[in-house]
Structure formats: structure tokens, C-alpha cells
Structure 1
Amino acid sequence: MSLTVSTVNVNGIRAAVKQRSETNLGFLPWLESSGADVVALQEVRADEDQARAALAPALDSGWHLIGSASSLKGRAGVAILSRHEPAEVRIGHGDPEFDESGRYIEAVYPGAIEGETVTVASLYLPSGTADTPKQDEKDRFLASFREHLAEAAAVVGARAGHEMIICGDWNIAHREADLKNHKGNHKTSGFLPHERDWMTDVLSGDSGWHDVVRHRRPDEVGPYSWWSQRGKAFDNDAGWRIDYHVVSDGLVHRAVHDRVDRAGAYDLRWSDHAPVTVVYE
């Protein structure tokens, strides 16, 4: 049995569903053609009723939806769509400052891969802006989320037959190979030295976590998953790789396929991010 997991920052689920709907190229047609069993969504920007209304055709066809909206209307928000209803759900990573910010949700799926339980999380890490309070907020999130990652790795490591995938928009390009214009972005949030060091620590050899796409593509530039709306970034493929599948030890070698569903042209996109999909066996 395989498990296909996708992650995508939808940049507003109502807009993503509506965009390109007249040409059958919006979020819902992508969802049905994705082959995914679980889809982690970020920047949903909708409360539960609004999200369910936007996704009604998918829910009517059997998809299950869980979500965590932000207490700030129209901001952030994470959700998970899945073919099977999760056995357990956890909202937030245990930091009271961020528990109602719509930035983290976990779902537990027993027997997801050959009888093993897999927890899938959707993460929308704050974007930050260098030398501003937004960066301070991001740095506070990084500190407490690192503690959560350490605790989660210990729990997964102690449970036989239990693995974990933390999908989402991590808003950090870890290496120079993860963005096109790395030389011009060393002072930009998302590529700041301390953020990259944080990511290195998260993915260190004994941390229990692995960037599975980079593991599969160690010498490749990209593949990018986000492009600025400014200028010709998309047309020139001047992108960033900030959407990750970070997986526990037992899954890193079980990934057999990965892809980025980059739109064929700028005017065919339904988000400024592209879905990142990995198949695990």
C-alpha cells in the first residue's frame, strides 16, 4: 500500500477554487487529478463554514476536511483534506501565542502505509520581514516549534509502526540551491543566515527529521514551489523552494516519487505556490 501526500499554499481557498474554474484548471480539478490520499493546505484564509462551502464538491465526493482557522479574519489558516477520516486531530504546536493563529494542524491515519500509522501535519510558518516585529514573531515561532519538533521526533521514535510527515510552507529556503537569486537575498526574510542555520539544525543527522525531496535530489537546483507575483519571476523560473515534506527517520527511504505541479503558464495558476507531491511506499 502506498500513500500519496501533497502540500500546497492555496493563497486563499475560495480564490483557488474560483480561479480558472471556467477553464477547468482551478484547485478542485487539480485535486481530483492529483492522485493524492492526503493534501495539506496552508493560507486557507477562511473559517470552517467558508472552507466547507468552497470545497463542497470535494466533500460531496468523499473527501474529509479538518482545519484550523486564524483568529484574525482572512489571515493564515491551515487544513488537511484526506480520502479517509483521521483517527485523531491536534491543533497548534503547544505554544499559546500561536495556537489560534491557524498555523499548525496534525491528523493521525492508522494503517496508512502497510499497516503503519502516519501522522500528517500542515504547517504555515510565519513569513517575517527582516528587522521588523514580524521577524521577531517569526523567530519566536521558530524557537517554540523547534521544541515541538524535538518532542515529536522522540514520540515517533519510541512508537513502533508510527511515522510522521510535516508538510507545508516553511517560509525558509534552506540552501542556495533552493532559490534562484540567492546572492541578492541574504538580507531577506526566508533566507536570513539564522533562519538557514535553524533549518540546518532541524535537519541535522541525529534530529530525526529529513527534507525528503532534497534527499531524493541532492545535487539539483530547486525544484522551486513559489514565485513572486512581481515582474517576470514565474516566467523566468526565478523561484524559491520553501514548501517541504519533512519526514521522520522511517519514511526518508520510502519515498519513491516526487513532483512539483508547476502550472504551464503564468495565467494558468490558481496560487502563487505550486503543489509538492510525494509518494511513499
Structure 2
Amino acid sequence: MPKRGKKQGGGDSGEEPEVPEPEAKKNKKEGAKGAKEKAVEGPILYQDPPDKLASPGGKRYTLKVTSWNVDGLRAWFKKKGLEWVREEGPDVLCLQETKCAEKLLPPEIRDMPEYPHKYWACSDDKEGYSGVALLSKTEPLNVTYGIGEEEHDKEGRVITAEFPSHFLVTAYVPNAGRGLVRLEYRQQWDIAFRAYLKGLDARKPLILCGDLNVAHKEIDLKNPKGNKKSAGFTPQEREGFGELLAAGFLDTFRHLYPDTPYAYTFWTYMMNARAKNVGWRLDYFLVSQSLQGAVCDSKIRNQVMGSDHCPITLYVAL
């Protein structure tokens, strides 16, 4: 996920899309201020109307997955993010940018009885960097870490859980970085990650969730004209995302809400961006085309605080 200011334009510890205005790395004071911001203006995408909790064929959802870039799991926990998760009650919870080794997890998270099956991945080399997690109420058939390529598997960015009917992949895609210093690497990642997902899809349908660190279309960020050269909105990154869709995957939110504007999942802590809803849509649920008819709803919980990203939730009838 690009993080404005810290992730504005892209960057992990500064991994977010850039915004036209210069943004310094957020500090503790800014983080505290951001946590107290009011709910954003724009479309209220939180409620779950009953008619949206069934597939086009009328089948009620059987799987609820929530994904959230927490921008530091320990800080997120202190901001009561876990309380919201318990209220939401997904079958599977996927987290990105945890910035926390398993041994340093708060005990309340490590021992959560609601999710007896927990899987964590973190950076091999950098403490407090990147990291993803997958917490499930039911035990997967198999769980793997990374995408099978050493150069891409050092930063704790991917966990894949295999279930009887599908794969579930949670990912924290690398940011192109301030000044696009990692754009070339990001393009290499996109190619390798797409090949990995296609390999899974050839075996059984998959659901991909996470911070994919790209705003695909101009509708997916507030200031597209000023961010043409910003991490998260470069032609190369957008093209890479388009190639992923062309490879047989569906952007569930845009499939259901093709023309809904101001639907963002990330806001920099700078410049009161969240209160003004100056944001980016960086967090996604993609599914195999074969699951198109199973998608019941894809929600952006844009009223939920606790991070510079908000959570998203997918309902699927499998």
C-alpha cells in the first residue's frame, strides 16, 4: 500500500502512494491526531443491506473475509482495532503491514480464541517492517508463505491458505517508494506475483485480498492529475494491475460498484486528509473469474478508525 506522507506514493515504512503536497514521515503526534479524526465524508459503505448478502443467483453468503492494513499491529491494538474486528466477526481476518514478529505480539492477539488458527509472516531482515497475518476460524488444508521465489520472499508479504473449495491469499504488495526508487523492483514483483496467482487459479478458485499498493483508475483516488508520477499511480503500476485482471481475476468492488466515486481505503495522516476524504483505494478483494457469480458483496468500511487504512470485507457464497 502506498502511504501518503509516510506512504504517499509508496513505501513500506514509508510505503504509501504519494500525494501532490509534500509529506514528511508521520510521527507519533500526527498518528495520535489521525486516530481521533472524524468519520470521512463521502459514500457510506458500511451498512449491509440484506439484498446484498446473497449472490446474483440468490445464494446466501457462506464466507466472510475481512482485510485490513493495520500500519503497525501493536499501535492498531492500542487504538482498539481488535474490538472492531470482534464486532465485525469475519470467518477469516487478513492483516497487512503488521510490523511485528510473532514473538512480540500482544497476548490478546496471539491467544484470540475466536481464531484458533493463526499464521504470521514478517521480514527476515528488517525489524518493524512489512509483515502479514491470516487468522481463521477453521483450519486450512495447507498454509504457505511467500510466492516461491527467494528474492521476493524476504519481506513477509504473502500468506496463502488452501481450503477445500478455494485458496485465500493475503498480500502486502511492495511500494514503488518515494521518488519511485523501487519501481523497477515493483514491476518484477508484479510479473512474479501474477504468475504465482495464475498457478493457484489453475488448481482451484482463489480469493486475493490485501494492500495491493495501486489505485487502478482515476476514480480510485482523489487527485489523479497530480499523482501521475506518484508511487501507486504510475502507468507501470496501473498497467501491472490491469494485466492481473486480464489474467482472469475480478476486482470485486468495481464489479459491484463500477461508478461509485470517493470510495477510498487509505488516507495520509497529513493535512487532515481523512476528514476531507482525500484518499486512495489501495486495498482490494480480487477473485477468480469463476467466482464472479458467488460474490455477494464487497464492502469498504470507511468509517472505521485505527489505521491510515480502513478495513474491507468480502461476502462470498461458496
TM-score (norm 1): 0.86
Question: Which one of the candidate residues 289, 303, 307 is aligned to 1:263?
Answer: 303
Q: Is 1:106 paired with 2:160?
A: yes
Tell me, in whole angstroms, the C-alpha distance in 1 between the residues paired with 2:140 and 2:186: 29
- Which AA in structure 2 matches 1:47? A
Verify the 8 A CA contact 1:11 1:45 in the aligned structure 2: yes
Indicate whether 1:87 and 2:135 are aligned: no
Moved over 4 A (4+): none
Question: Which residue of the partner structure matches residue 53 of structure 1?
Answer: 107
Q: Structure 1 residue 172 and structure 2 residue 214: aligned? A: yes
**Separation of aligned partners in 2, 1:96 and 1:164:** 23
- The CA distance in 1 between the partners of 2:93 and 2:151, in whole Å, is 26
Does residue 1:10 correspond to 2:70, yes or no?
Answer: yes
Code of the aligned partner of 1:277: T
| 3-state SS of paired residue (1:89) | strand
* Structure 1 gaps, min length 5: 20-25, 111-116, 157-162
- Which residue of structure 2 lines up, in the alignment, with residue 202 of structure 1? 244
Report the residue type matching 2:214 in the other structure. I
Please state if 1:241 is matched with 2:241: no
Secondary structure (helix, strand or coil) at the match of 1:257 reads strand
Equivalent pair of 2:74/2:106 in contact (CA under 8 Å): no
- Return closer, same or farther for 1:239/1:131 CA change in 2, 3 Å cut-off: closer
SS at match of 1:85: coil
Partner of 2:312: 276
Which ranges in structure 2 are unaligned for 5 or more consecutive residues? 1-60
Whether the aligned pair in 2 keeps the contact of 1:42 and 1:123 (CA below 8 Å) is: yes
CA distance in 1 between counterparts of 2:265 and 2:292 reads 20
- Structure-1 residue corresponding to 2:168: 120
Distance 1:252 1:237 in 2: 30
Amino acid aligned to 1:74: G
Give the drift of 1:154. 2.4
**Paired residue type of 2:265:** S
**Aligned residue number for residue 38 of structure 2:** none
Name the CA distance, whole Å, in 2 between partners of 1:144 and 1:197.
15
Between the two proteins, what is the percent identity of the paired residues?
34
Q: Structure 1: how far apart are the matches of 2:133 and 2:249?
A: 22
1:136-215 → structure 2 map (5 Å cutoff): 136-156=184-204, 163-204=205-246, 207-215=247-255
Cα displacement string for residues 82-115 of structure 1 (whole angstroms, at most 9, x for unaligned residues): 11121200110122112121111101122xxxxx
Shift of 1:131: 4.6
Which residue identity does 1:227 align to in structure 2? Answer: W
> Residue in 1 aligned with 2:123?
70
Compute the TM-score of the two structures, normalised by the length of structure 2: 0.76
Identify the structure with the greater strand proportion. 1
SS in 2 for 1:213: helix
Q: Describe the superposition over 1:198-219 as per-residue Cα deviations: whole angstroms up to 9, x where unpaired.
A: 1111112xx2211111100111
CA distance in 1, matches of 2:239, 2:120: 30
If asked which structure has higher relative contact order (CA below 8 Å, sep 6+), I would say 2
- 1:114 maps to none
Give the CA deviation at 1:153.
Answer: 2.6
Report if aligned partners of 2:262, 2:277 keep a CA contact under 8 Å in 1: no
SS at match of 1:123: strand
In structure 2, how many angstroms separate the alpha carbons of the residues matched to 1:202 and 1:222?
A: 23
The 8 Å contact of residues 14 and 54 in structure 1, kept in 2 or not, is answered as no
Aligned residues: 256
How big is the alpha-carbon RMSD for the aligned residues of Structure 1 and Structure 2?
Answer: 1.7
